[in-house]
Amino acid sequence: MKENEPRKIAFPRYAEYNCAIKYILEQGLGAKCIVPPKLTRRTLELGARYSPDYACTPFKTLLGSMIECLEAGADTLMMVYGLCKLGYYGELEEQILRDLGYEFDFLNLAVYDTGKKRDFLKAAKFVNPRFSIRKLALAAMDAFRMAEYLDEVTGELYQNCGFQVRPGGYEAAYQTFLNALYAADTKAEIEVAHQAVKRAFLEIPIEKPVRPLRVGIVGEFYTAMDEFSNLEVEKKLSGMGVEIHRWMTVTNRMIHYPGEKNLNVKIRDLSQYEMGPTSTANIWAARQYAERGFDGLMHIKSANCTPEIDVMPALQAIAQQNRIPILFLTFDSQSSDTGLMTRLEAFYDMIQMRRKVIQ
């Protein structure tokens, strides 16, 4: 890295949230953000080749994406941490990449998690020694707003796109929206993109029954949200004519999280304490869906995700108490589209036939 030149910093692909990360890095810290290429089978193969086999699949996907970021010209990589094995992933990924001979600076946010919030400013300093706190705070607020809009619009997409009269309208409007978010440099541009997609969605004709089939998705923080990692499960299922609800999003978990204690009140009979980053929220969400009379539940996790394995018995209990079908899906680097389609079609047939009998 040359003096006085902004860092070319990259965060591995995480669903579509990279647009918000890009916004903070560029508008808040004055760095140049390299947006990682879309995840493909090559990404996963690259990651799986250099990862320990028993790491969870997101580790492999993230590692592959980091390699693709470096190939795209990034000189600095950034990694977050979390309440599961994720806390150690940054360190491990850095070591693997260095062993492979890549040269880069590494910003591992886990290092700055000292218990004192102000230590995170050191991370900002690492990106840009002359950053302005005011600019960073403003950009962070805009980026949060961007992520909120992204989650809101994505949710609306999968609740409605299965019922559009002519296929493709929702997807096209959504893609335009994403492009606008990645290109946005100001708060005004974010607001305009949001208004435009809402208007576009309203104009798309849909034919939705009064009580459509509804499926609630719960699951792991990466695989449940990233459409490459879950083989587009939401797109496939909604395309059959199902309204899909997924509470688990980045903004719901990180910004609007009601707190473990508040959620636990509703599920104390099933779980007394937090078992991982998302377990309480997932059990709580599943119970919400079941009690609201949804037609089915779906649990999505990657292979070797320990916290989500712990959630499964509680979900089984919810399914039995509320007599609601639940489908458990596990994804790894070998998962096939065909196998997923078989299970989804069967799930759809089941909830549809079941609905006819119940009513």
Beta bridge partners of 211: none
268 vs 356, beta carbon nearer other proteins:
356
194 vs 287, beta carbon nearer other proteins:
287
CA angle centred on 80, ends 79 and 86, rounded to 5°: 105
- Indicate whether 352 belongs to the interface with other proteins (CB under 8 A): yes
For other proteins, which residue of 73, 258, 293, 339 counts as binding (CB under 8 A)?
Answer: 339
What is the nearest approach in angstroms of other proteins to the Cβ of residue 304? 10
Question: What is the distance between the alpha carbons of residues 299 and 224, in angstroms, rounded to a whole number?
Answer: 8
Residue for token pair 């939401």: 234
Q: Which two tokens stand for residue 165?
A: 């009269």
Q: Which residues of 96-131 are buried (b: 16+ CB within 10 A; e: fewer)?
A: bbeeeebebebbbeebbeeeeeeeeeebbebbbeeb
- Indicate whether 171 belongs to the interface with other proteins (CB under 8 A): no
What is the nearest approach in angstroms of other proteins to the Cβ of residue 327? 8
Amino acid at 109: L
Packing angle of the helix pair 187-203, 169-183 (nearest 10 deg): 180
- Indicate whether 338 belongs to the interface with other proteins (CB under 8 A): yes
What is the nearest approach in angstroms of other proteins to the Cβ of residue 130? 38
Residues 284-303 within binding reach of other proteins (CB under 8 A): 303
- For the chain, strand residue ranges (E) read 8-10, 32-33, 76-79, 105-108, 214-219, 243-246, 296-302, 326-331
- Indicate whether 72 belongs to the interface with other proteins (CB under 8 A): no
- Indicate whether 42 belongs to the interface with other proteins (CB under 8 A): yes
Residues 252-281 within binding reach of other proteins (CB under 8 A): none
Question: What is the distance between the alpha carbons of residues 307 and 219, in angstroms, rounded to a whole number?
Answer: 10
What is the nearest approach in angstroms of other proteins to the Cβ of residue 227? 10
For other proteins, which residue of 18, 27, 43, 108 counts as binding (CB under 8 A)?
Answer: 43
4 vs 338, beta carbon nearer other proteins:
338
The sign of the torsion formed by the CA atoms of 162, 166, 168, 171 equals negative
For other proteins, which residue of 52, 167, 258, 293 counts as binding (CB under 8 A)?
Answer: 167
- Which residues bind to other proteins, rule: CB under 8 A? 37-38, 40-43, 167, 232, 239-241, 303, 312-313, 316, 319-320, 323, 325-330, 332, 334-335, 337-339, 341-343, 345-350, 352-354, 356-357
